[in-house]
Structure formats: structure tokens, C-alpha cells
Structure 1
């Protein structure tokens, strides 16, 4: 795009006028008609829309007023790190950025309340100053808290559930503008449904999490052959606080990563940016895709000689990894007893069919829960995630992977690409109809449903 200085100034002036009009109380419909539409797209660029309005309320009361006249469908947006079409709408994209920060901390019960738009990457230090820390974290910290819990985003560790499982209370603004405080003892059914809701019940404004005292972790990274990993994965998951591994396609090798609590002095990692390694794998695919055996020999030789890496830091610095190389992703959560067999089939399918892929395949352990729409409900689980470079077509690769995941009773991550619909989910989730009942009661007109969610929930 050719952006001259004049164009930049024009766009800036337009945005300033729109902001001033909103602050002055200009009716939203008039504002939407007069303002230039601004494209929204997610992190990977795979999802986009041109909404009539883009709004960012600063309080629950302000949000309640906006919901009465904002163009519909209304879709809340976090950081745009979901790959499914949860956000795209011709109506209103509703940013939670102004609803952020640590709002309250209870030292006695080790809980803290956050604005729903708080980025995960901004939680660690702020919580530490309050004498608290998250019990577990995902490996990407760019998401908002609301987006993370709404899709049951998770880290790894056989004894740790998704972020949603640590919610003790939440505040939800419904389609009618009602502000509900929900907990195990207050608006109980809404609380059960809202801990994983896809943003389909209303808009989360506050979230209270169960936390713990701050702690340090030792992170260890080393390589070992795929067959050895298949034999040792369960024991490694039992021995370590957090354990995950990656299989490097066309290498026969895995990278293992463990975290364990420690009192050692901090020894920080020099860099958390693994983009160079990913792009090297991409180059090898381009150069040697025609020669899988040679490609495997080169990657395996490099990984076999990879020195073990060990470092120590505070938990919130250990968990996240920088992901500068953009991709699209499919992730399924499988019963723990079936997951390793599924991964073996994934590897076999890729390499016997010479499918072009270079991104490592991620394998994690997650504790089961009883949340209505949690992919981990009712069973101990493992997740398998496959990635495709954002400039490449992902459909052929994911179409080859999804039947494997489904054959092993997998449930898709709500924020990752899949092809399932309402009938599929009704068979996968025992409390599916209970969720639909709550959803219809809170939003009978479906103002929070875009095309994707109408398909997911089977709504006409």
C-alpha cells in the first residue's frame, strides 16, 4: 500500500474526528454512517471484516449503553489471536482494550480481579507486585484474558487446567444491558456457561482468578528421538510440573521442554525468539522438499548435537515464547490415553505422503475439568497442534489432519481452525443443550451471533 504523508494525515484526522464525536455523545448510528470503515483482521491475516462500527467502551455502564444502538451483530474482540471466524462481522467490533488492568487483589484468598481486556503479558509483573502469580500460563501471552478464557486457552501440565478453570467470579454485560456478577453462588448457571462462552452470552468486563504466591521455574530444553519420546512422554509428564514436546517433521526427532519450581538464582535465557529456527526449517523444506531422506538426515544431525539448554526465571517470564513468524493453526484436544497413538498417525500421514510442512507439531498435557464448553470437560487430555505458514494454503494439510483427530475422539480448540458444526458439538459436549438454553435466554435476538457462531450453535 502506498501511504503518502498526506494520506496518513488524512486518516489520522478522520480517526480524531470520530473519537471526538463519540466523546461528545454523537449517536452511534450517525457516527457509523459518517465515519470511514476500517478493516479488522486477526493476527495471522486469515480472518478479516469491514465493520460498520469499531467501539471501545471504558466501563460496564458505557458498554451497556452502547449495546442498545450499536450496529449488529456485535462481536467483542481481544487481541485477534483466534484463527476461527469468532470476530468477523458487518456490524460492530467491540474492543476491550480500555477494560484492562488489575482492579483488585485479595491477599488472604490469593485472588485478583482484572479488566477483561488485560493482556496476559501485562499480568505477571502487576500480580507479582501484589504478592501473587498465575498458577499456570499459555505459551503465548499476547491474548487478552477475556479472549483466552472464552476459548478455553491453556498451557501445559498434567495437573493444570485451562485458564477458565481458575475463574472464581466474572462480570458479564448482557444483550439487554444488564450487568451480571456471576460466581458459584450468584447467577450460577450463567457462571457455568460463561467461563467458556465464545463471546456468545454477552461481553465480559471483569474476571477474578484464583492465584498463588510468586515462584521461579527452571526451564530445560533437550532433544531426543521420536520413538524414545513416545516411550517416555507419560513418565516425563508425571515427573515434571510442566511438560510439553514438539515433533520436528521429517527429522525423527523431538524437542522436550520441562518446567519445575526452584529456589535457584535467576539465570535468564539470552533470547526467547525462536523465529530463526522456524525459518531455517522453512528453507530446508523449500530446498530439499524433493528429497525427504536428505532433509531428515540434515535436521536429525543438527538436533542430535543440540546442547541442552537450562535457565531459571520468574514464572511469568518462563512461560511465554515469542512467535514472530505468523501462521494459521488447528489444535485438537484428545483423551490422554489416545493422544500418543494419534500423534504417531499424524507423523505417518505427513511423511508417507510427503506433505509439505515445516512447523513443529506441538503436544501438551491438560488436566480435565467440568466446565460446560471446555474441550477438557470430563477427561484428562492432551492437545496436538499443527501449524501452517500464513502465506501458504492451510486447507490441504488440515484436511489431512482433522480426520485423525476426530477418529481419536478429539475436540477442537475453539479458537483454532476446524470444520465442525452444531450436530458435532452436541455429540461431543454433555452440557451442550444446557449452554444453548442459557445463551438463548441471555441473547434471544442473537445480537452476539455472527455467521460462524450461528453455524456452531445451529441457529438460523
Structure 2
């Protein structure tokens, strides 16, 4: 039997009585027209009927000369053999960097989206590369199985998520690609290559995070675990206090992360632990409501940062919490209706909190910001281009609304992250080129050698990747 949670939800965290009264005054008072005078530009859309590709945020757009949608591996082979020039694979478009755009041949893997085999003895699942993480999680759950960990955005394709080092949170949990034990890919010359962690450890270390630069991945085999439930607890806490508690919370809980609520002095903590109780509850997410409230504070009081912080602190009740108990895949992933642009960097764990303080200070020097800043924990792994290669990390992600200025995500924060030995998320906005990246990855030269062996003509490199790999 399900039971409704006894605590009030996050919907109420930023809408206390004092704040509502203040907002009502501002809405109808003489300050309202001036405070709400700024009108934001709307994102552009592609002409109807065009064969235009764009990523989730709309920042990256292209009309390729040829848009292929192979239904099986044999069709991928034929495509690679029959086409000439540049070719790029496309997943769900959840990268903010220009990994996909090509004016020549774009290969969508959306039709490669089935479970191939579940091996209960080996505790692995083999799935086609275009299968969405959420769809795989549901298919596994029907068989009493689960992924060990999941990223927040589960509409990503398996191949796309793995190629870019996509991760969840958990101090003892690695990114998704670390559970890949085998894969199949088609090289630019049409040759099918089978890669096994047991038989080709170096090749697997290169292929686990490869940015689509070795070939078009068609199939992946991942480790799985028995299905499990989680208990979620969400709370708000003064930021300084939560930063002091963060190392302990990360060590105590299977999953721990937090969101800094800018210009409020507060952060929202989220922890998940394995749950074996009888009841399951899944309250409707309040994330969009909290985001709306933060934006409302910005729109009304952005020119008055001290008043804005005061209003937020009157509105936030630190005693309010949210509880939920459900299957792991239902709690670890979120729906994100509000679109945004994002930069995310991965810091050595021992430097991450110091870096975060500098990032928050820089973020709050801009009165227009309102999007929460995300902080997560990831365990080290051995993939050559993994941002977590050979070091336990924390990630810091900074966002801005899709219809607002975003260049400051690069200009303001790159120097701070670099000063703390940060590595950028491959799918999030960053300005680094080969000369910078080669210094951050001990096996960079080894990867470059492997990439040239698989793609000697550089057919899998677009303009962005030619800068990343120094082929411009």
C-alpha cells in the first residue's frame, strides 16, 4: 500500500507567507512595471519542412546534405562504405557542445533501440546503441534487474551518454561508461569491430569515452545489478552549513548531491539510500515550481540583491522536506521541461568545495542569474578520455535559461575551473582545444594513436572535433 508523504513538498520551499505577501505588493505596486520591464528574446525555430537537426537546447543546428537512419548494423556498414567525406553519429541531442553538426552525412541511431540479450549468469545486458537509458531501465526492471547508477537525463541514447562520459552521483559510484564490458562499432571503412574489456583492455579504455571518433557504435554490453528501491530525502539548508556537511553526507549515503540556490544563501540537498520497506511513494516533482519561484525573485528583485536575498530567506522554511520511496530508475532521473544552456566541469575531489565557493561568488556577482547550480560526486575510472580518469571527482554544473545570455558560462567560469585542475564535461559548453586538453589527460597521446588507426582520414571529425583533437 502506498502512503502519502507526511511532509510538505518543495513546492512550498520558496513560497512562504511572507514572500507571497511581498510578491503581491510588488506585482500590483508602483515598482512592478519597472521591475518587470525587461523582455527576453524567444529562441528561433527552423523553417517548417526542412531537414534540420538541432540539439535539445537549440544552440547547435545544422542541415546536413544527407541524413541517414539505418535500421540495423548491416545498413550502417553499407552507409559507411558508400558515402564519402565527413560523417557524424547523432543520439538524442543532449550535448551542448557541437559534437554532432556536420554539413555532409549525419547518422541517426534512433532505430537501433532494442534489447538484444540479458545474461543472468554474467549479470549483463546487451542493447542496441540507440536505446534510451530510461527505456532500458524499464526493460531491465521488468526482468528484476537495474543499472548500477543512472544519470539525471534518461532520454539520452546509450551510445551518446557513454561517448561523452555522462554520469550520475555517488562517491563510490562511477560514470555509466565504467559498466560497459563489450561493444560493437562500425569503422569509417565499414569494418565491424568487436571490443571486449577482457580481451582488448586498451581498446576498451579508448572506446568507453570516444566522442564518436572511432566509429558508429551499434551495440553495447553493460553490467547490471538486481533491481532495488531507493529512499529519497530532500531538504534545504544554509549554504555554508551544507558545504561543511557535504564530505560526511557523501560518505554516508549511496547517492548525495546538492543544488545551490543563487542569491538566497541556501542550498537544497538530495540523498538516496537503498530502501527495503513495503510502501512506494512518488510525489510529483516540484523542481519546475522552485525554478519558477527563483526566476520570479530575479525578475522582481534582481536590481536589489540585498532585498532579493532577504525576501528569499523570509520565504524559505528550512524545516520543510520531501520524501519518496520507489524503484531506483524512477528516482534518479528527472524530466526537464525548462530548457537551458550548461557548462559542467569535473574537479579533483579534494579541490572541489574550494572551487565551488569561488564559482558561487562569481555567479552571484551577476544579478540576472537564477538557475540553481548543481554539485555531484563521481568515482574514478580508467577510460582514457574519461573526465574521471584516475581521480575521484566532484562535478559543478552552471546553467542559464535557453532564451537568455549564456556566453558568460564560458568566459566567467573557465578560468576558475582551470585554476582548480578541472576537466570539462565533453557534452557541456567549454572553450578548450587540443593544446589545453592534452595536458589534462595522461593517456591523451595513446587515444590519439588509436583514433588515427580507426579513422586515418579523419572522416569522423567535424569542425568541433578537429579543434578538440588538433586537426584543424
* TM-score where L is the length of structure 2: 0.88
1:400-456 deviation line (CA, Å, top 9, x unaligned) = 111111100000000000000001111000000100001001101111100000000
Which residue does the alignment assign to 2:164? 151
Where does 1:116-265 land on structure 2 (aligned, <5 Å)?
A: 116-265=129-278
| Residue 392 (structure 1) aligned with residue 407 (structure 2) | no
**Structure 2: distance between partners of 1:414 and 1:146:** 14
Which residue does the alignment assign to 1:406? 418
- Asked if the contact 2:230/2:326 (under 8 Å) is kept, the reply is yes
Which residue does the alignment assign to 2:461? 449
- Match 1:81 to one of 94, 108, 112: 94
**Structure 1: distance between partners of 2:226 and 2:168:** 18
- Asked if the contact 1:292/1:354 (under 8 Å) is kept, the reply is no
What SS does structure 1 have at the residue aligned with 2:438?
helix
| Structure of higher RCO (CA pairs closer than 8 Å, 6+ residues apart) | 2
Which residue does the alignment assign to 1:373? 385
1:25-60 deviation line (CA, Å, top 9, x unaligned) = xxxxxxxxxxxx511100000101110011111111
- Asked if the contact 2:91/2:130 (under 8 Å) is kept, the reply is yes
- Match 2:373 to one of 361, 377, 389: 361
Which residue does the alignment assign to 2:65? 52
**Structure 2: distance between partners of 1:212 and 1:69:** 41
Which residue does the alignment assign to 1:29? none
**Structure 1: distance between partners of 2:465 and 2:226:** 38
What SS does structure 1 have at the residue aligned with 2:100?
coil
- Give 1:147 deviation, angstroms: 0.4
- Match 1:272 to one of 266, 285, 289: 285
**Structure 1: distance between partners of 2:253 and 2:262:** 25
- Match 2:113 to one of 93, 96, 100: 100
What SS does structure 2 have at the residue aligned with 1:265?
coil
**Structure 2: distance between partners of 1:398 and 1:200:** 24
1:270-319 deviation line (CA, Å, top 9, x unaligned) = 21352222122112212111111111122223223461111100111011
| Residue 458 (structure 1) aligned with residue 470 (structure 2) | yes
Runs of 4+ with deviation above 4 angstroms? none
- Give 1:71 deviation, angstroms: 5.3
| Residue 309 (structure 1) aligned with residue 308 (structure 2) | no
- Match 1:115 to one of 128, 133, 157: 128
Count of paired positions: 428
What SS does structure 2 have at the residue aligned with 1:419?
coil
What SS does structure 2 have at the residue aligned with 1:293?
helix
**Structure 2: distance between partners of 1:70 and 1:43:** 27
- Asked if the contact 2:399/2:409 (under 8 Å) is kept, the reply is no
**Structure 1: distance between partners of 2:246 and 2:312:** 22
- Give 1:214 deviation, angstroms: 0.4
Structure 1 unaligned segments of length 5 or more: list them: 12-36
**Structure 2: distance between partners of 1:276 and 1:72:** 47
Please tell me the root mean square deviation across aligned C-alpha atoms, in Å: 1.6
